[in-house]
Chains A and B, each alone.
Chain A
């Protein structure tokens, strides 16, 4: 059963400023208000973030007059979908199964339209080395990297391999799991002797590590939304985190300073927007995405990763970008849902 019922009236969302008119519901052929199932939670390491994202999006969509049920994904997902019969699903699951395309595969199989990219594109984006290869193929820049499983260090001996990595990529390095988000398991390594510890921390989150050259520059997040004329980049958000943009810096208010729009020249802004839109297109993404990149002193935009299920919490970057664009969140989310519904019809 749905974990919460909808309240179609009362635009109570803080995302919807008082006085802003709710978008009228888009009724289906039978004149029924569409029902949106927001999927959040689950069992991934990012469950907490996902629940926060899910609650925010559900609240915003309700304020536009849609019927919304928020569901914490578990073994009853298919029963829930069958019994609830949503018109459209918004998978806001972060981490495994939510972003790796598998839940989207299930939604395809049961014939339910959903917000966001399809399973194949999601699977490519979820795996950072594969998506980096696709970005390089599209002529986009991404930091030099190697991808190595834990078993390789066991088979070849850790130290010789680590020494080779340092010789090949230099220092500093960024060590991260090939899959996952919210900077979990990510370490910036400035000294070779710290690399083994970083590897151990990384492998606590997954079997394979991505080790890439750390890039110095302006850290930016560019959200892309599919509009009537194709993918459209929202204003870049600049991230200034004193101790690195780690988990606490992402989700504890006050820890990080954001500049939205980013402090970029018009040319720089156009350049990073173009990179994000090209990444969105090259990876065949749908409805929305967020590209994280670093603009270095030479003017190169190095794409770190792309997200198919960007965070939607109070602290997240996409909502900040929407605000910077002068738009309200709730109507924008509503437009995304309507796009997904229209595609299904």
Chain B
């Protein structure tokens, strides 16, 4: 009567014991769950990196796409080549020429967004335990890719002029002395995500020289390069060095992320491996998307559209920075000259991750700095995006955020400490793709 029943335990996942080690970190946290509220219209989301697509001439694009299917439907809806549609690759060489990159269509591999490019590059270069160097902080989506290939990520500080060359040199020297194998340096040199800074013109050749001297490849991720507010585009790193730099580009920020069209420009040997890797991953990137982007570039004034975006985002940047000055003078931040993001350092003692629930209650969202560090540090920072909300909503969002910061400051003052550090840095702390 009082014997224990023989009940088998159940983990609600019959394949729990079968996952690869690289899947260990693929688990969502409560922070990620909180972001599900951020998409609600009642919440001012300063979290998302979504471009403001209402700025596009959607009627013109609709006509263009209809014509595309009528005239090239059987090609658009068919499989394509692993390297990508040739007409698009030709257009890509013209786009990157604006940043001084001289490329032949044969050098280009079209990918499913530049995220896929990053995945393919990591796939062909990184073995488990290899070192990848990234900026501190670095793009959350890149850290996720590196983690999934079991890379050991070493983050090197950046300042207002971008990656610090002396720190990079020291890190590479230290790693070499320790016998560690560094496969590449990953950098977003222009209007960096999340820090908003750009690698200065003086530092660009310095960084390349350091990497060349250490025999390390540079992976230049450049989705925001054409979205500068005040100046002509800076020369891409690839414009200095065609052998030592892989250039990752994207139409997600300058046109529309829904097509998922990105690309890599690579030396021919690397290119060949990327094409084979792409074929094994996706057979071919979407022909329909590629032809849509190619048609857009052919028939629409895409340079005028980029100019319109630059003006729109500059106004929003100004709204964000102005509101921060008015409502959050106790914090500090950079004033980005392009891109989508402002990197805010909170008043001493505050923890952006711990504060997020309070922010959600106040109906404002941001991305805590911890998402951009491999080791879970960065809690004293938050990333604010100005790309999607209108200037009025941005001002309202910062007003709400100021209330959140003040409330948290009082709490920290009462208890003389911030919240518990997160014990598991492997959790997916960043937002879903539509917010990255």
Contacts and interface: CB of A to CB of B under 8 A. Distances in A.
A160 to B, nearest CB: 12
A184 B416 CA distance: 22
Contact of A254 (B1, B5, B11): B11
Given A47-B37, A204-B358, A259-B10, A74 B42 contact: yes
Contact of A256 (B11, B356, B361, B410): B11
Contacts of B420: 187, 194, 197-198, 200-201
A44 B5 CA distance: 39
Interface stretch (B24-32, B79-87, B115-123, B200-208): B24-32
Given A158-B415, A259-B10, A248 B40 contact: no
Nearest to A246: B30
Contacts of B408: 204
Nearest to A157: B414
B412 interface: yes
A49 B40 CA distance: 15
Nearest to A189: B420
B43 interface: yes
A252 interface: yes
A264 interface: yes
Given A45-B34, A45-B357, A252-B28, A197 B419 contact: yes
Contacts of A243: 423-424
Given A153-B415, A254-B11, A201 B28 contact: no
Contacts of A48: 33, 36
A196 B40 contact: no
Given A203-B411, A248-B29, A252-B27, A45 B4 contact: no
A135 B11 CA distance: 32
A246 B421 CA distance: 15
Contacts of B239: none
Contacts of B4: 263-265
Contact of A261 (B5, B11, B41): B5
Contacts of B356: 204
A264 B416 CA distance: 44
A109 interface: no
B13 A43 contact: no
Interface string B1-35: 11111011111110010010000000111100110
B34 to A, nearest CB: 6
A43 B28 contact: no
A254 B19 CA distance: 11
Contacts of A184: 30, 357
Contacts of A281: none
A182 B1 CA distance: 35
Contacts of B411: 150, 200, 203-204
A82 interface: no
Contact of A43 (B37, B419, B421): B37
B11 A158 contact: no
A266 B313 CA distance: 67
Contacts of A49: 33
A252 B5 CA distance: 27
Contact of A45 (B29, B37, B424): B37
Contacts of B241: none
Contacts of B5: 261, 263-264
A154 interface: yes
B43 A43 contact: yes
Interface string B396-436: 00000000000010111011111111011001000000000
Interface string B271-310: 0000000000000000000000000000000000000000
A69 interface: no
B395 interface: no
Contact of B417 (A200, A260, A315): A200
B355 interface: yes
A258 B9 contact: yes
Contacts of B1: 265-267
A247 B7 contact: no
B418 A200 contact: yes
A319 to B, nearest CB: 10
Interface string A243-278: 100111001111111111111111100000000000
Contacts of A61: none
B147 interface: no
A184 B34 CA distance: 10
B68 interface: no
A51 B36 contact: yes
A254 B2 CA distance: 30
B417 A197 contact: yes
B248 interface: no
B363 interface: yes
Interface in A168-217: 182, 184-185, 187, 194, 196-201, 203-205
B354 interface: yes
Contacts of A185: 357
B27 A266 contact: no
Contacts of B419: 197, 200-201, 204
A185 B10 CA distance: 27
A205 B34 CA distance: 12
B9 A248 contact: no
B321 interface: no
B360 interface: yes
Interface of B: 1-5, 7-13, 16, 19, 27-30, 33-34, 36-37, 40-43, 351, 354-358, 360-361, 363, 408, 410-412, 414-421, 423-424, 427
29 contacts: A43-B40, A45-B34, A45-B37, A48-B36, A51-B36, A74-B42, A75-B42, A154-B410, A158-B416, A196-B416, A197-B418, A197-B420, A197-B421, A201-B419, A204-B356, A204-B419, A247-B33, A248-B27, A248-B424, A248-B427, A252-B27, A254-B12, A254-B16, A255-B27, A256-B12, A264-B5, A265-B1, A266-B2, A315-B12
Given A45-B360, A201-B420, A262-B7, 19 more contacts: A46-B33, A51-B36, A75-B42, A158-B414, A184-B30, A197-B418, A200-B354, A201-B419, A243-B423, A248-B27, A248-B29, A252-B27, A253-B13, A259-B9, A260-B10, A265-B1, A265-B2, A266-B1, A267-B1
Interface of A: 43-49, 51, 74-75, 150, 153-154, 158-159, 182, 184-185, 187, 194, 196-201, 203-205, 238, 240, 243, 246-248, 251-267, 314-315, 320
A-B residue pairs, 6 tightest by C-beta: A253-B13, A254-B16, A247-B30, A48-B36, A265-B2, A201-B419
